Amino acid sequence: MPSRRKFIQSSAIALSIPSLLPISGAAKNIGPDKNYKKAFLKLGMAGYTFVNYSIDQTIAMMNRVAIDNLSVKEFHLPLDSSQEKINEVLAKFKGGGINVYAVGVIYMKSQAEVDRAFDYAKRVGVELIVGVPTYDLLNYTEKKVKSYNIRIAIHNHGPEDKLYPGPKDVYDRIHKMDKRVGLCLDIGHAFRAGADLEKVVTDYAPRIFDLHMKDVTGARADAKAIEIGRGAIDFNAFIAALRKIGYNGSCSIEFEKDMKDSLPGIAESAGYLRGVMS
């Protein structure tokens, strides 16, 4: 008899098949069900997923899996872009049905880099920066948050990261700051760093602004990225925790396996998440 886990994985693969159709075809299949979208948290894509792909390829891949929210990275929209260039890139994404909801991850090691990040976000027209300011820049970053009214979500990067290996390393430094300073919880890196993901969601709920969704092979530093649903993270429990706190941000898939042939893994991951969410 097949195990429950194998059954869920098989179901996720089956669910991903319709999302491989063009977006109009997928919409035709799901449109009549009024409860379809209500069943899901908001899916997005973290821009780093597409480091090996052009903007046109990125749009095509996102359309194939029916995901339309993107945190854009600088390889698609450089930080020093003119306003004309920004408008051109945003128009291309919009024309492809993609909403750019955030910028980042942006690393900040000087006040000038903090200034540039906030000016860039303002010119792009987003209300969220996913960023990594150094400790000594946190107070300065908070001042920019207040002056620009743009939120920043500080990203944890796992055991190798000397600044923010886990979400607690972020939260402990920002929980007394302006409420617009928060956390981009990368669940794969957090899990590798030993975090209890459901407890993180519960304890840090008001400060979780964004999620990078991925699965890993284990709760250890050398664990590898894998398709969502095939690894060690309990997504049923994690999604339940998100629902309990009323999370309304983006659940952005960051797919870091087979990054030059990403579409099958992205489709399987999206299908699995939709299956769990429903």
Q: Which residue's structure tokens are 């990040």?
A: 117
In a domain, 276, yes or no: no
- Tell me how far apart the alpha carbons of residues 187 and 120 are, in angstroms, rounded to a whole number: 27
CATH number for the domain including 121? 3.20.20.150
- Tell me how far apart the alpha carbons of residues 58 and 259 are, in angstroms, rounded to a whole number: 12
In a domain, 28, yes or no: no
How does residue 38 score in pLDDT terms, banded at 50, 70 and 90?
A: low
Q: What's the full length of the chain, in residues?
A: 278
pLDDT at 15: 43
Sign of CA dihedral 135, 137, 142, 145: negative
In a domain, 11, yes or no: no
In a domain, 273, yes or no: no
268 Cβ neighbours under 8 A, 6+ residues apart: 12, 13, 16, 227, 228, 229
Strand pairing report for 69-72 and 151-155? unpaired
CA atoms within 13 A on the CB side of 226: 15
In a domain, 106, yes or no: yes
- Tell me how far apart the alpha carbons of residues 232 and 201 are, in angstroms, rounded to a whole number: 18
Q: Furthest-apart CA pair in the chain: how many Å?
A: 60
Q: Apex CA 244: angle with CA 240 and CA 245, to 5°?
A: 125
Q: Looking at the predicted structure, is the pLDDT value of residue 54 above 50?
A: yes
- Tell me how far apart the alpha carbons of residues 139 and 148 are, in angstroms, rounded to a whole number: 14
- Predicted confidence (pLDDT) per residue in 133-192, tens digit: 999 999 999 999 999 999 999 999 999 999 999 999 999 999 999 999 999 999 999 999
**End-to-end CA distance of the chain, in Å?**
24
In a domain, 25, yes or no: no
How does residue 40 score in pLDDT terms, banded at 50, 70 and 90?
A: confident
In a domain, 32, yes or no: no
Residue spans of alpha helices (H) in 65-166: 83-95, 111-124, 138-148
Task: Domain of residue 87: give its range.
Answer: 41-265
With contact defined as beta carbons under 8 Å apart, do 204 and 171 qualify?
yes
The structural domain count of the chain equals 1
Q: Looking at the predicted structure, is the pLDDT value of residue 83 above 80?
A: yes
In a domain, 86, yes or no: yes
**Predicted structure pTM score:** 0.87
Q: Can you state the angle between helices 83-95 and 55-64, rounded to 10 degrees?
A: 30
